[in-house]
A and B are shown apart, each in its own frame.
Chain A
């Protein structure tokens, strides 16, 4: 470039610049709208990317991608990664990493399976299929997850060992423990109520909300969204701060509620499998109509669990001191310490939270399989970290959102499930996902450099 004649440079440079200016001036009204909507542009870009992926797969697959059946399955497959990704956001935001989540998941899933299939019924002699089995198993699993995650966090925060090393060790240790104690055995079957957490069916019991509870959930969520929007607007009003234009407020509210109700609609458009439906009809004395029986499945329990986890972790991250401290530590650890924040304790807690979320995902995955297998959760850490990173979490710390990570998980799972539909083999899937991961982060870096 240094040797270029000035005349040439301007001849090449000018059209390029005017092209860019044309684009940015054409986009001016759009950026204006985005600004008054006050939405994270990164989030908007991800939603755009997701729509492009969905529509492309739908066209290429001849219309099989955007079906209720496929989307329902997609939602269930995304759930267990998304659940852990919410915690991984906080871990990465505070400038750490947890490579052990897949192994923790395997270890916790195995322990929970032992608990309900061996220890409660046999060792304690309480028998199988107790009504409390699933809750007890879940609570103990989550507590154990928090304990082993917290232990790793303790070594990171108080021992001063880098989290990469501690959790790399954890990855080996927790997996090794499973092999040592399971000795290759699969533990099955699990408690039937527990199995519901995985979204599958057992006889006529279905791991989903069903039609009306799903609608109720959707409406409750919409009311909550509107309530939060109104109350935060009121609060800003009370202090005479600038607020969003009313049309922007309405648009954001309508789109968000529309998306929620749309998800419910899709879940309710997915019928129960024929044999389950027939058995259900017989048990409940429902006459089978001539056109066949259509019983809506509704929102799957793994998705319900994911929604609850999302709400809880988002609340912790944005409305509580804990979350504020996690972000402050990620932005500037020294400043956080000088502000009087207990940095060590906060970091330990992020790892404990991560461990308990690994337990929740372990419950979902073992319940879905109706078994604990020794390789449960293998390589999940890669999917979870990728979801967080595609969702905008930055490795330099301090940046990342929980909803972003959820979207990241859905984007990744969409790619995988779309490729499965197109009969792409698994090595090729890995290649594509790997490239998308790097491209997404690279593109983001370029855009950020432009903006700043």
Chain B
């Protein structure tokens, strides 16, 4: 019942994962935010990463983004060991991130944010027109009603800001995407659009780590679900093998489904 390695129909087991995190540790002072977590991600697969508040999901993902390198542990990309010391390293490896905080420069407009750190230049000067044109195309995929390409993103709605953050992650041909609560600020229509996008990216062979608190979204979109509890990995399960209640039990009680008693499961609804 508990699946440690992917053996799903349609995914050949011998395929090399795009990303592998092995035995990752991160501590902040005395707080062991991530303690020995191992995860992998295959092309064209969505792995849901779930857990209670403060479980360490964001911290784990940030080691892969280069935002906060791990204290110990190894990262493999396409089977090769790599060192991700900063966000540029991650991007160079084709790993893009949509941060939980969005990480937008509020005073800049959408094109400047999408291309931040990777500006298009011609004759050593910024080519704003080219960047705006590309931004219009990529945001058009997410939100056809988006019109404010010249206003600071500060003045955009929460959903529009999220569209900018997503656009930035998908524009540069990512091979692996980290989405840390990408639909937290979105209305139903926009959420549906992001779900459609996730499915499309998946079909293009991109691997996605989807961090979310919405257990139904996670069940909807992902093949496998990894559950974290107090910095540790409770387990990674194939979504077809578990019920939402069992995953809830893993999140709340920090025990794999095999160790959950009927009584504990019943109390979840208490």
Say whether A328 faces chain B, with CB atoms less than 8 Å apart. Answer: yes
Say whether A449 faces chain B, with CB atoms less than 8 Å apart. Answer: no
Interface string of B74-103 (1 = CB under 8 A from A): 000000000000111001000001010111
Q: Given A319-B125, A321-B119, A324-B112, are A241 and B132 neighbors across the interface (CB < 8 Å)?
A: yes
Q: Given A321-B121, A335-B116, A340-B88, are A398 and B129 neighbors across the interface (CB < 8 Å)?
A: no
* Interface members, chain A 253-277 (any B CB < 8 Å): none
Q: Are A332 and B103 in contact (CB under 8 A)?
A: yes
Chain A residue numbers with a CB within 8 Å of B117 are 336, 339-341
Q: Are A331 and B124 in contact (CB under 8 A)?
A: no
Measured CA separation A397–B133 after assembly (Å): 28
Q: How close is A179's CB to chain B, nearest CB, in angstroms?
A: 41
Q: Are B126 and A324 in contact (CB under 8 A)?
A: yes
Q: Are B105 and A331 in contact (CB under 8 A)?
A: yes
Q: Are A332 and B65 in contact (CB under 8 A)?
A: no
Say whether B106 faces chain A, with CB atoms less than 8 Å apart. Answer: yes
Q: Given A239-B133, A339-B116, are A331 and B126 neighbors across the interface (CB < 8 Å)?
A: no
Q: Are B88 and A335 in contact (CB under 8 A)?
A: no
Q: Are B105 and A320 in contact (CB under 8 A)?
A: no
Closest to A242 in B: B150
Measured CA separation A335–B125 after assembly (Å): 22
Chain B residue numbers with a CB within 8 Å of A35 are none
Q: Are B103 and A320 in contact (CB under 8 A)?
A: no
Q: How close is A393's CB to chain B, nearest CB, in angstroms?
A: 12
Interface size bracket, A side: 20 to 34
Chain B residue numbers with a CB within 8 Å of A399 are 107
Q: How close is A328's CB to chain B, nearest CB, in angstroms?
A: 4
Secondary structure of the A side of the interface?
A: helix
Closest to A319 in B: B125
Measured CA separation A397–B105 after assembly (Å): 11
Closest to B133 in A: A239
Q: Are B88 and A320 in contact (CB under 8 A)?
A: no
Q: How close is B142's CB to chain A, nearest CB, in angstroms?
A: 19
From A235, A238, A320, A328, give the contact of B124 (CB < 8 A): A320
From B103, B121, B124, give the contact of A338 (CB < 8 A): B103
Q: How close is A418's CB to chain B, nearest CB, in angstroms?
A: 34
Interface string of B214-237 (1 = CB under 8 A from A): 000000000000000000000000
Chain A residue numbers with a CB within 8 Å of B86 are 340
Q: Are B107 and A338 in contact (CB under 8 A)?
A: no
Say whether A330 faces chain B, with CB atoms less than 8 Å apart. Answer: yes
From A319, A337, A452, give the contact of B87 (CB < 8 A): A337
Say whether B253 faces chain A, with CB atoms less than 8 Å apart. Answer: no
Q: Given A239-B133, A338-B65, A338-B99, are A320 and B108 neighbors across the interface (CB < 8 Å)?
A: no
Say whether B104 faces chain A, with CB atoms less than 8 Å apart. Answer: yes
Closest to A238 in B: B129
Chain A residue numbers with a CB within 8 Å of B119 are 321, 324
Chain B residue numbers with a CB within 8 Å of A330 are 107
From A239, A319, A321, A331, give the contact of B107 (CB < 8 A): A331
Interface size bracket, B side: 20 to 34
* Interface members, chain A 356-413 (any B CB < 8 Å): 397-399
Chain B residue numbers with a CB within 8 Å of A42 are none
Q: How close is B182's CB to chain A, nearest CB, in angstroms?
A: 16
Measured CA separation A336–B106 after assembly (Å): 11
Measured CA separation A332–B102 after assembly (Å): 11
Q: Are B126 and A327 in contact (CB under 8 A)?
A: no
Say whether A236 faces chain B, with CB atoms less than 8 Å apart. Answer: yes
Say whether A282 faces chain B, with CB atoms less than 8 Å apart. Answer: no
> Which of A241, A315, A319, A339 counts the most B-chain CB atoms under 10 A from its CB?
A339
Closest to B88 in A: A340
Say whether A334 faces chain B, with CB atoms less than 8 Å apart. Answer: yes
Chain A residue numbers with a CB within 8 Å of B129 are 235-236, 238-239, 241
Chain B residue numbers with a CB within 8 Å of A319 are 125-126
Q: How close is A96's CB to chain B, nearest CB, in angstroms?
A: 16
Closest to B165 in A: A335
Q: Are A339 and B103 in contact (CB under 8 A)?
A: yes
Chain B residue numbers with a CB within 8 Å of A324 are 108, 112, 116, 119, 126
> Which of B108, B116, B118 counts the most A-chain CB atoms under 10 A from its CB?
B116
Chain B residue numbers with a CB within 8 Å of A236 are 129
Measured CA separation A399–B155 after assembly (Å): 14
Say whether B67 faces chain A, with CB atoms less than 8 Å apart. Answer: yes
Q: Are A398 and B106 in contact (CB under 8 A)?
A: yes
Q: Are A336 and B126 in contact (CB under 8 A)?
A: no
Measured CA separation A328–B117 after assembly (Å): 10
Q: Are B107 and A327 in contact (CB under 8 A)?
A: yes
Measured CA separation A236–B149 after assembly (Å): 13
> Which of A241, A330, A338, A398 counts the most B-chain CB atoms under 10 A from its CB?
A338
Chain B residue numbers with a CB within 8 Å of A239 are 129-130, 132-133
Q: How close is A157's CB to chain B, nearest CB, in angstroms?
A: 16
Chain A residue numbers with a CB within 8 Å of B133 are 239, 241
Chain B residue numbers with a CB within 8 Å of A397 are 107
Closest to B105 in A: A331
Chain B residue numbers with a CB within 8 Å of A318 are 126
From B87, B104, B125, B126, give the contact of A332 (CB < 8 A): B104
Q: Given A235-B129, A319-B126, are A331 and B121 neighbors across the interface (CB < 8 Å)?
A: no
Closest to B152 in A: A331
Measured CA separation A336–B107 after assembly (Å): 12
* Interface members, chain A 286-343 (any B CB < 8 Å): 315, 318-321, 324, 327-328, 330-332, 334-341
Q: Known pairs A327-B108, A331-B105, A452-B155; list 9 more (Cβ under 8 Å).
A: A318-B126, A320-B124, A324-B126, A328-B108, A332-B104, A338-B87, A339-B103, A339-B116, A398-B107
CB within 8 Å of A: which residues of B? 65, 67, 86-88, 91, 97, 99, 101-108, 112, 116-119, 121, 124-126, 129-130, 132-133, 155
Q: List 8 A-B contacts (CB under 8 A).
A: A319-B125, A327-B105, A328-B112, A328-B116, A336-B105, A339-B103, A340-B88, A398-B105
By Cβ-Cβ distance, the 3 closest A-B pairs, closest first, are A398-B107, A331-B105, A331-B107
